[in-house]
């Protein structure tokens, strides 16, 4: 599976199955927006993965939080091709 130039949003991406998904997508060439409530872990991941990752602190139960994160993802990467819901 080649994900070069694709952008994925992974909710719950800062740990567990979500993080495994983030790592797999990055390995296949995707850029990934991680939506998660854990800002501390998100900062670690953003530093670890660099420009290929955007971390957004998001409560998926709060529509405005999700909308802001989507806007930030679009501003950074210009598109969203894939969504994975692990939150």
Residue spans per domain, the chain:
7-85
Mean pLDDT, range 57-67, rounded to an integer? 96
Give the homologous superfamily in CATH for domain 7-85: NAD(P)-binding Rossmann-like Domain (3.40.50.720)
Yes or no: say if 32 and 53 are a contact pair by the CB < 8 Å rule: yes
Which pLDDT tens digit goes with each residue over 38-58? 999 999 999 999 999 999 999
Among 67, 71, 75, 72, smallest CA distance to 55 is for 72
Please give the backbone phi and psi of residue 32, each rounded to the nearest 5 degrees, phi first. Answer: -135, 130
* This prediction's pTM: 0.95
Yes or no: say if 26 and 49 are a contact pair by the CB < 8 Å rule: yes
54's enclosing H/E stretch is strand 53-57
């Amino acid at each position: 599976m080649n994900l070069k130039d694709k952008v994925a949003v992974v909710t719950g991406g800062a740990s567990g199955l979500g993080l495994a998904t983030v790592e797999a997508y990055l390995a296949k060439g995707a850029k990934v927006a991680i939506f998660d409530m854990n800002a501390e872990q998100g900062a670690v991941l953003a530093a670890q993965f660099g420009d290929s990752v955007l971390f957004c602190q998001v409560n998926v139960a709060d529509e405005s939080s999700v909308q802001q994160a989507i806007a930030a993802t679009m501003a950074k990467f210009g598109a969203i091709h894939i969504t994975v819901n692990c939150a």
